[in-house]
Chain A
Amino acid sequence: MITCLADTLFPRAGQATVTVLEHLGCDVVFPAEQTCCGQMHGNTGYRDDGLGLARRACRVFADAERVVCPSASCVGWLRETAPMLAAAAGDDALVAELRGLAPRMRELTELIIDDLGVEDVGASFPHTVTYHPTCHSLRGLHLGERPVRLLRAVRGLQLVPLPSAEECCGFGGTFALKNADVSMAMLADKVRCVGDSGAEVATAVDGSCLMQIGGALSRQRTGVRTMHLAEILAARE
Chain B
Amino acid sequence: MSEGFPQAARAALADTQLRRNLAGATATIRARRAAAVAECDDWQELRDAAEAIKTRTMARLPELLEMLETRVTEAGGTVHWARDAAEANAAVAAVAAAHGADEVIKVKSIATDEIGLNEALAARGVRAFETDLAELINQLGDDWSSHILVPAIHRNRSEIRRLFARTIAKGRPLTDAPEELAEAARVYLRERFLSVPMAVSGANFAIAETGAVCVVESEGNGRMCTTLPRVLVTVMGIEKLLPRWRDLEVFLQILPRSATGEPMSPYTSLWTGVHPGDGPEEFHLVILDNGRTDVLADELGRQALHCIRCSACLNVCPVYTRVGGHAYGSVYPGPIGAILTPQLKGLHAAPTLPFASTLCGACLEVCPVKIDIPSVLVHLRGRVVRETRGRVTREGVMMAAVAKAFGSRRRYERAQRLARLGHGPLADQVMGRWTAMRDLPEPPAQTFRSWWRERQG
Q: Which residues of A contact B (CB under 8 A)?
A: 2, 4, 6-12, 14-15, 18, 30, 32-33, 35-36, 38, 40-47, 49, 52-53, 56, 81, 84-85, 88, 135-136, 138-140, 166-168, 170-187, 211-212, 214-216, 218-219
Distance A180 CA – B360 CA, assembled complex (angstroms): 16
Question: Which of B124-132, B207-215, B381-389 interfaces with chain A?
Answer: B381-389
Question: Which of B147-155, B190-198, B253-261, B443-451 interfaces with chain A?
Answer: B443-451
Other 8 A-B pairs with CB < 8 A, given A4-B406, A4-B412:
A8-B426, A9-B440, A32-B449, A32-B453, A36-B406, A41-B403, A56-B406, A182-B323
Cross-chain contact B438 with A45 (CB below 8 angstroms): no
Cross-chain contact A214 with B358 (CB below 8 angstroms): no
Given A53-B406, A135-B361, A179-B447 contact (CB < 8 Å) = no
Quote the shortest CB–CB distance from B435 to chain A (angstroms): 8
Cross-chain contact A11 with B446 (CB below 8 angstroms): yes
Residues of chain A contacted by B299 (CB below 8 angstroms): 88
Distance A177 CA – B431 CA, assembled complex (angstroms): 10
Residues of chain B contacted by A4 (CB below 8 angstroms): 406, 412
- 0/1 interface trace, chain B 411-433, chain A, CB 8 Å (1 if under): 01000100110000010011001
Residues of chain A contacted by B434 (CB below 8 angstroms): 176-177, 215
Cross-chain contact A84 with B375 (CB below 8 angstroms): yes
Choose one: B433, B441, B443, B451; the contact of A214 (CB below 8 Å).
B441
- Please tell me if B362 contacts chain A, counting CB pairs below 8 Å: yes
Cross-chain contact B6 with A181 (CB below 8 angstroms): yes
Cross-chain contact B9 with A46 (CB below 8 angstroms): no
Residues of chain B contacted by A35 (CB below 8 angstroms): 405-409, 412
Quote the shortest CB–CB distance from B125 to chain A (angstroms): 43
Choose one: B386, B430, B451; the contact of A11 (CB below 8 Å).
B451
Cross-chain contact A41 with B318 (CB below 8 angstroms): no
Distance A193 CA – B409 CA, assembled complex (angstroms): 40
- Contacts of B335-386 to chain A: CB distance below 8 A: 354-362, 364-365, 375, 378-379, 381-386
Cross-chain contact B386 with A47 (CB below 8 angstroms): yes
Distance A49 CA – B437 CA, assembled complex (angstroms): 29
Q: Smallest CB-CB separation from B372: which chain A residue?
A: A84
- Please tell me if B177 contacts chain A, counting CB pairs below 8 Å: no
Question: DSSP majority for the B interface?
Answer: helix
Q: Smallest CB-CB separation from A218: which chain B residue?
A: B439
Q: Smallest CB-CB separation from A213: which chain B residue?
A: B438
- How many residues of B sit at the interface, in one of the four size bands? 35 or more
Distance A44 CA – B10 CA, assembled complex (angstroms): 21
Cross-chain contact B386 with A8 (CB below 8 angstroms): no
CB within 8 Å: A-B pair count = 189
Cross-chain contact B361 with A11 (CB below 8 angstroms): no
Residues of chain A contacted by B400 (CB below 8 angstroms): 49
Residues of chain A contacted by B430 (CB below 8 angstroms): 177
Quote the shortest CB–CB distance from B286 to chain A (angstroms): 34
Quote the shortest CB–CB distance from A55 to chain B (angstroms): 11
Distance A43 CA – B399 CA, assembled complex (angstroms): 12
Residues of chain B contacted by A211 (CB below 8 angstroms): 440-441
Residues of chain A contacted by B1 (CB below 8 angstroms): none
- Please tell me if B319 contacts chain A, counting CB pairs below 8 Å: yes
Quote the shortest CB–CB distance from A51 to chain B (angstroms): 10
Residues of chain A contacted by B360 (CB below 8 angstroms): 135, 139, 168, 172
Q: Smallest CB-CB separation from A36: which chain B residue?
A: B406
Cross-chain contact B6 with A172 (CB below 8 angstroms): no
Q: Smallest CB-CB separation from A166: which chain B residue?
A: B362
Quote the shortest CB–CB distance from A85 to chain B (angstroms): 7
Quote the shortest CB–CB distance from B44 to chain A (angstroms): 13
Q: Smallest CB-CB separation from A178: which chain B residue?
A: B355
- Please tell me if B297 contacts chain A, counting CB pairs below 8 Å: no
Q: Smallest CB-CB separation from A9: which chain B residue?
A: B441
Distance A178 CA – B354 CA, assembled complex (angstroms): 12
Name which of A33, A138, A177 has the most chain B CB atoms within 10 A of its CB.
A177
Choose one: B10, B447, B453; the contact of A181 (CB below 8 Å).
B10
Residues of chain A contacted by B405 (CB below 8 angstroms): 35
Cross-chain contact A85 with B378 (CB below 8 angstroms): yes
Residues of chain A contacted by B436 (CB below 8 angstroms): 180
Quote the shortest CB–CB distance from A83 to chain B (angstroms): 11
Distance A216 CA – B436 CA, assembled complex (angstroms): 11
Quote the shortest CB–CB distance from A23 to chain B (angstroms): 15
Q: Smallest CB-CB separation from A215: which chain B residue?
A: B438
Quote the shortest CB–CB distance from A84 to chain B (angstroms): 6
Q: Smallest CB-CB separation from B430: which chain A residue?
A: A177
Residues of chain B contacted by A180 (CB below 8 angstroms): 6, 433, 436-437
Cross-chain contact B362 with A168 (CB below 8 angstroms): yes
Quote the shortest CB–CB distance from A176 to chain B (angstroms): 7
Residues of chain A contacted by B407 (CB below 8 angstroms): 35, 52-53, 56
Quote the shortest CB–CB distance from A18 to chain B (angstroms): 8
Cross-chain contact B378 with A139 (CB below 8 angstroms): no
Residues of chain B contacted by A138 (CB below 8 angstroms): 361
Q: Smallest CB-CB separation from B437: which chain A residue?
A: A184
